[in-house]
Structure 1
Amino acid sequence: MIVHWHRRDLRPSDNRGLARAAGDGPVVPLFVLDPTVLEHASPIRVACLLEALDDLRTWYRERGSDLLVVRGEASAVVPEVATEYDARRVVWNEDYSGLAAERDRAVRAALEDADVTCESIHDAIHHEPGSITPNQGTHYAVFSYFWKKWRDREKRDPADEPDPGDLATVSGDPIPSLADLGFDDPEATPPTVTTAAARERVAAFCSGPIYDYAARRDYPAESGTSRLSPHLKWGTVGPRELYAATERAAQRAETDDDRESVRAFQRQLAWREFYAHVLAFNPETVTENFSGYENEIEWQNDPAELEAWQTGETGYPIVDAGMRQLLAEGWMHNRVRMLVASFLTKDLLTDWRAGYDWFRAKLADHDTANDVGGWQWAGSTGTDAQPYFRVFNPMKQGREYDPDGEYIREYVPELADATADEIHSWHELEPAERERVAPAYPAPIVDHAERRKRAIDLFERARGE
């Protein structure tokens, strides 16, 4: 017997660790609900996890096996399962956060004590950390250099799913509910996170929208993005399967612009991998500035302003639309993610970690590497970060990327009857005019121009300039 320990690879196909185990099977499939990991979870993410587990369990049961879903510390549970099924090896796919690395070290030690061998496989990304490097150092800190090597590096083909004969005949206990695990129902409606849903989304995106991705991805009122992030988070689609689908789309492209648009999407996949490499070598960046000037930044951290940002009550329409979309859907358009992050760190002068914590609690697709990288980019403290003197103007961004106010009206109903010009000029309207247009919507809580200047001064002091 070989145990395959599923973690963030909740799929049977294009799963390199599972395929490796199946080659020496029969495979005992295992997932561990580890309380140490669940301490860092949130209701919406656990809801997605449980759905993905149920879907994966169904796949195993249809083939005469089962997914063992066991609660307990992984360092205790994994050796126990291996011993129970007389497994000679445990296989899992690598994760790259500090928490995962700490957990895996403990499991390795416990398996060694139990005289069971283990093997970890690089599966969640194409190229393992340390394989794309500059001439000096362990990883790139500038994405453009990483991208040049990533795009030209050969990608593996998708791994085959196991045959039914490769799977052990086992039977597991029922999967616990949210309540069983101590979580309330999520405020937002979780997305469907199954392999079938992932494949449907990949097929739909690569059949048409991918050719408009470069031109339309920044417009939140449109369906210009893939919406695959929850599936990449939970591994209900494999990275090689997704990349292969984009390569087939590139081969079908009718124009050079179409092919460049496919390349633009692949570039975003490379960004995710870039941040995974950075986190693997710098796990402390979950709580510390990558740039190093940790105690020099004089964050204001006003609790009332943070709450206004969290609830979508800042008086800046596109910021509020994004924050309310997050609360309603557990997801936010990527362009708007950058805007709300810039607004928190530069306009409200609030530590990026407060924003990261809120996203971690509310996003269905929260990914440690991607979110830490994105927040430190917006906060001008990370790798290849937004220069501190470039501060997004939320009103200008709203006018450029939601010119008709369609996205804003969807999530900020107080502005449903306002014209596009009234929405995008909200900061300039007189109080009486705001009262006439949208009496229930707040005035801007800060002056953008004044806060922009303060933010630049703050960073220049921190940098000793």
Structure 2
Amino acid sequence: MYVHWHRRDLRVEDNRALSSSDPVLPVFVFDEEVLFHAAPPRVSFMLSALDSLRDEYRERGGNLLFLRGDPREEIPRIATRCDAECVVWNRDYSGLAKARDADVRDVLADAGIERRAYHDALLHTPGTITTNQGDYYSVYTYFWKKWRDREKDAPFDAPDEIVVPDEVAEDGIEIPTLADLGFEEPEGTIPPAGTEAARDLLSKFCERDAYRYDEARDYPAREATSRLSPHLKFGTVGIRDVWKTTERAKNDAGNEDEAESVEEFQGQLAWREFYAHVLDDDPSVVVENYKDYRYDIAWRDDPDGVQAWKDGETGYPIVDAGMRQLREEAWVHNRVRMIVASFLTKDLLVDWREGYDWYRRKLVDHDTANDNGGWQWAGSTGTDAQPYFRIFNPMTQGERFDSDAEYIKRFVPELSDVPPEKVHEWTELDPDEREDLAPEYPAPIVDHSERREMAITMFENARG
């Protein structure tokens, strides 16, 4: 018998470390150190996913053992108690996870228990897609070309036998509530969790939206994205399952444009892996700029501006819609994520780390590698980053990607009766006209043109 330690792989099928013909005891540990960095939306989703995972095990004649404490103590203890031959888990790539896993390996080694860790969350293991010199890529385009052409593994089978021996069953706990873990109820609506919900999303996406993804994905009102991000975060669906399903959709495409659209979505899977490889290579990117500047970037301290940004009260409609979507859904459309991140870093001139931290606290799909990569891209400090002199104009972005203001009005009801053209001219309107059109909606808190010039100067000074 072996112990499988679940972490960010909350599924039974297509789970590399779990695939075995030997009896397996599945375990999940509520790790206090991990919970310290968590937030209500993700913990709520995780608890629901764990409930679903336990049901899956029970349907297969087994169960899922829940523990709470330090995995350095709990995993060796339960493995010793049930006389397990081996403990297995799937790797994570953050600095915290690497340090924890190294400690668990050492304790298991001291106890004479075999331990094996697998690469499961990605289609291609960090360190396997490199430059000709053997370095990790810092430019996505080159990474994508190799990633795309590499052979992908098929999904893995589920284990044959799941067991929870009587001698350890009494050590388990019931699934705790949010309150038990010290969290309040999340502010936003949390989507359904579990493998069934993930596969339903994937199936529906590949039936229709995958074929229009390329032309529709940047328009938030069209709802043309997969919404799989929280499921990929917690591993309620296997990445090989996702790849296989999208490959089938590409092969079933009615024409070349549809096939290329599916491949565009697969490119987003590659972006996810690109950032995971970057994090694996350099865990310090979570707190440090990836890109070096000669001098420190002179980010501004602007608590009032940051608060207006958080509240969706900046007077820039597309920015405010995105920040309110974050509050209401614990999720934000990707195009809008780029817009609001650009506004914080280039219009408010505030350090990307403030935005990253706020999103970490509010997103249901927060992923350390992916979110850090996105924020550093917007802040012109990351890998393959947006050049500092190419700055999103939030009004132009709103007009281009939400021309009818449908998305904006969904989340900014103060503008519901304002004609779309006036919504997209909001920052240029006379104050009296703004007052007449939407008295409850704020005037812009900054002048974009002025801040654009300030941002360019700020980065040029940092470059020296």
Question: How high is the TM-score relative to the length of structure 2?
Answer: 0.98
Corresponding position: 1:157 with 2:185: no
- Residue 23 of structure 2 is aligned with which of 22, 26, 33? 26
Q: Report the AA paired with residue 278 of structure 2.
A: V
Q: Report the AA paired with residue 65 of structure 2.
A: L
Aligned to 2:269: 269
Corresponding position: 1:50 with 2:47: yes
CA contact (8 A) 1:64 1:169 kept: no
* Deviations 1:323-352 (CA, angstroms, capped at 9, x unpaired): 000000000000000000000000000000
CA contact (8 A) 2:295 2:461 kept: no
Q: Report the AA paired with residue 207 of structure 1.
A: E
Q: Report the AA paired with residue 244 of structure 1.
A: K
- Residue 89 of structure 1 is aligned with which of 82, 86, 89? 86
CA contact (8 A) 1:16 1:93 kept: yes
Give 1:4-153 correspondences, 5 Å limit.
4-19=4-19, 22-23=20-21, 25-153=22-150
C-alpha distance 340-294 of structure 1, shift in aligned 2 (>3 A): farther
Aligned to 1:358: 358
Give 1:411-422 correspondences, 5 Å limit.
411-422=411-422
Alpha-carbon shift at residue 197 of structure 1 (Å): 0.3
Alpha-carbon shift at residue 167 of structure 1 (Å): 3.9
Alpha-carbon shift at residue 189 of structure 1 (Å): 1.2
SS of the aligned residue for 1:91 comes to: strand
* Deviations 1:87-130 (CA, angstroms, capped at 9, x unpaired): 11100001001111011111111111211111000000011110
SS of the aligned residue for 1:158 comes to: coil
Q: Report the AA paired with residue 50 of structure 1.
A: L
Aligned to 1:392: 392
Query: In structure 1, how many angstroms separate the alpha carbons of the residues matched to 2:165 and 2:217?
Result: 46
Corresponding position: 1:214 with 2:214: yes
Aligned to 1:312: 312
Aligned to 1:205: 205
* Deviations 1:111-153 (CA, angstroms, capped at 9, x unpaired): 1121111100000001111000001243100000000000000
Q: Report the AA paired with residue 10 of structure 2.
A: L
Corresponding position: 1:460 with 2:457: no
Give 1:218-237 correspondences, 5 Å limit.
218-237=218-237
SS of the aligned residue for 2:83 comes to: coil
CA contact (8 A) 1:288 1:294 kept: no
C-alpha distance 149-114 of structure 1, shift in aligned 2 (>3 A): same
CA contact (8 A) 2:64 2:164 kept: no
CA contact (8 A) 2:39 2:362 kept: yes
SS of the aligned residue for 1:3 comes to: strand
C-alpha distance 294-409 of structure 1, shift in aligned 2 (>3 A): farther
* Deviations 1:268-302 (CA, angstroms, capped at 9, x unpaired): 00000000000001100000000123861000020
Question: How high is the TM-score relative to the length of structure 1?
Answer: 0.98
Q: Which segment drifts farther, 377-386 or 166-175?
A: 166-175
* Deviations 1:221-262 (CA, angstroms, capped at 9, x unpaired): 011100100100010110000000000001110100000001
* Deviations 1:431-456 (CA, angstroms, capped at 9, x unpaired): 10000000000000000000001001
SS of the aligned residue for 1:10 comes to: coil
Alpha-carbon shift at residue 33 of structure 1 (Å): 0.6
C-alpha distance 297-4 of structure 1, shift in aligned 2 (>3 A): same
Corresponding position: 1:444 with 2:441: no
Query: In structure 2, how many angstroms separate the alpha carbons of the residues matched to 1:460 and 1:71?
Result: 50
Alpha-carbon shift at residue 193 of structure 1 (Å): 1.2
CA contact (8 A) 1:341 1:352 kept: yes
Runs of 5+ unmatched residues, structure 2: none
Alpha-carbon shift at residue 65 of structure 1 (Å): 1.5
RMSD of aligned Cα (Å):
1.0
Alpha-carbon shift at residue 63 of structure 1 (Å): 2.0
Query: In structure 2, how many angstroms separate the alpha carbons of the residues matched to 1:224 and 1:315?
Result: 27
Query: In structure 2, how many angstroms separate the alpha carbons of the residues matched to 1:310 and 1:117?
Result: 48
Q: Report the AA paired with residue 419 of structure 1.
A: P
CA contact (8 A) 2:131 2:137 kept: yes
Alpha-carbon shift at residue 216 of structure 1 (Å): 0.2
Q: Which segment drifts farther, 119-128 or 293-302?
A: 293-302
Give 1:248-259 correspondences, 5 Å limit.
248-259=248-259
CA contact (8 A) 1:26 1:168 kept: no
Aligned to 1:184: 184
Q: Report the AA paired with residue 151 of structure 1.
A: R
Q: Report the AA paired with residue 340 of structure 1.
A: V
CA contact (8 A) 1:301 1:348 kept: no
Aligned to 1:347: 347
Aligned to 2:175: 175
SS of the aligned residue for 2:221 comes to: coil
SS of the aligned residue for 2:133 comes to: coil
Q: Report the AA paired with residue 250 of structure 1.
A: K
CA contact (8 A) 1:31 1:69 kept: yes
Query: In structure 1, how many angstroms separate the alpha carbons of the residues matched to 2:294 and 2:192?
Result: 39
SS of the aligned residue for 2:446 comes to: coil
* Fraction of identical pairs, as percent: 60
Alpha-carbon shift at residue 162 of structure 1 (Å): 1.7
CA contact (8 A) 1:44 1:330 kept: yes
Corresponding position: 1:322 with 2:322: yes
CA contact (8 A) 1:32 1:69 kept: yes
Aligned to 2:404: 404
CA contact (8 A) 1:315 1:442 kept: yes
Query: In structure 1, how many angstroms separate the alpha carbons of the residues matched to 2:25 and 2:391?
Result: 52
SS of the aligned residue for 2:222 comes to: coil
SS of the aligned residue for 1:17 comes to: coil
CA contact (8 A) 1:138 1:281 kept: no
